[in-house]
Amino acid sequence: MRNRVLALALAGLPTVAHAQAPARRVVASQVDSIARAALQPGRVPGLSIAVVRGSDTLVMAGWGMADLENRVPAGPQTVYRIGSITKQFTAALILIAERDGHLGLDDSLQQYVPGFPTPGGRVSIRHLLTHTSGIPSYTSLGPAWRAAMRLDLSEDSLLGLIRSRPPDYSPGQRFLYDNSGYYLLGMILERTLGRPYPDLVLERLVNPLGLRATGYCYTWPIIPNRAQGYEPGPGALGVENADYISMALPFSAGGLCSTVGDLVAWTRALAQGRVVPDAYSRMSASGRLGDGTPTHYGFGLFADTLEGHRRIWHSGGINGFSSSLAAFPDDSLIVAVLTNSEAGNAARIGTAVARVSLGLPLPAAPQQPAGGARPD
C-alpha cells in the first residue's frame, strides 16, 4: 500500500479543470499519506512539511527521524540545510543593496571583482541573478568539483576552478543554472556592504523579519534541532551518512539552514513587501534571453503554473538534504518541504502536496505487469 500511495503522490498528472480548495482535515489526511509513503528504506529518513493557505495553517508537522543514530524524531522545528533556496535570500540582499544605492543590476561584474575573466562578453549583476552569464558552474566540473568538495577553499581558490575555463555561452544568450553566479553575488555583497554574507543574512533579513531558525549552516556551531543528512547506502535502513562537504563552498549559492515554518514566514514577508516593496514581483518575473525567449526564472525564483495555478518556487539539493518551497499567489497557498535525504526529491513531494492542497487529483496507480509484483 505504501508504494502505491507514493506512486499516486509523486507521478505526473494530465491537465484537469480547477477544483474547489479542500478542507483542512482533507489536506492534512492526504499530506500525512504522502509523507508516510515517502518514509521508505533508502529514500527519506525524515521530513517536515508546512502547508499554509491564507492565515490558516493546514499542516505544520514532521515525520520520521531527523537523526537516526540518536533516534531524534523530525518535527516542524527541525532545521535542515536548504541548498539552493538560499538563492532567493541572496537575490533579496542584492535588491536591498540596489535600493540603498550601493550597486546597479546592470553594473559589470568586473566593477566588483576586478580581473575575473569573462571572455564571452560583458557580464552584469543581472546576468548573475538570472543564470544567463555563461560562467561555468563550479559544482558542474565533475572530478574537479568532487576533489575540492571537502576543502575549505578561499574565494580565489574556488574561483580558480573556473577562471581558466571557456564560457558556456555568451552572456544573455542562454539560461543555464549556475552556482558560480550566485557565489559571485555573495562576493559582491560582501565587498559593497562591508560585512560577511552570513552576517548580512542575519542583519538585513532574519532579524528584521523575526525568523527564528534561519542562518548560515556552518558545521561548527551548535544549532538546536539540526537534522543530520543521509544518502542511499547498504544495510537494513538503506541509508548512510551523507558525504562531507565544506560549508565554505555553497556560500551564497546554497549555504543556509532553515525550518519549514521560517520558509513560510519568509515567503509571506517577501510577498508583502517587507524586504523591498517590489522585490517579490521583480524576483518572480520571468527573464528573457537576447532573442526574447522567456526563461521562466527571475532573481532566485522560478515562475510557472501547475495545472493552471500560478506558481513561484525553488528547490534545493545539497549533500544529505533536499528542499522545496512553492507559493501559489492566486490561491494564497504556500508549501514548504524539507528532507534529510539526497534521494528525497522534495520538489516531487512538494508538488504532490500542492496538488492535494489545491484540490487537484493525484494520478492513477501504475499498472503492475502480468505475473505481478510482490503484494504489500
Output the pLDDT for position 19.
Answer: 52
Domain that holds residue 7: 2-358
**Is residue 233 in some structural domain?**
yes
Instruction: Give the alpha-carbon dihedral of 177, 180, 185, 191, to 10 degrees.
Output: 180
Number of Cβ within 10 Å of residue 340's Cβ equals: 29
**Is residue 370 in some structural domain?**
no
Q: What is the pLDDT of residues 243-269, one digit of tens each?
A: 999 999 999 999 999 999 999 999 999
17 has a pLDDT exceeding 70: no
350 has a pLDDT exceeding 70: yes
**Is residue 181 in some structural domain?**
yes
**Is residue 368 in some structural domain?**
no
260-271 and 86-99 helices, crossing angle to 10°: 30
**Is residue 365 in some structural domain?**
no
Give the model's confidence band at 375: pLDDT under 50 very low, under 70 low, under 90 confident, else very high.
very low
103 has a pLDDT exceeding 90: yes
184-215: burial string, b at 16+ Cβ within 10 Å, e else: bbbbbbbebbeeebbebbbebbbeebebebbb
**Is residue 140 in some structural domain?**
yes
**Is residue 371 in some structural domain?**
no
**Is residue 305 in some structural domain?**
yes
Q: What is the pLDDT of residues 180-220, one digit of tens each?
A: 999 999 999 999 999 999 999 999 999 999 999 999 999 99
> What CATH number should be reported for the domain holding residue 128?
3.40.710.10
- Number of domains making up the chain: 1
What is the value of pTM for the model shown? 0.91
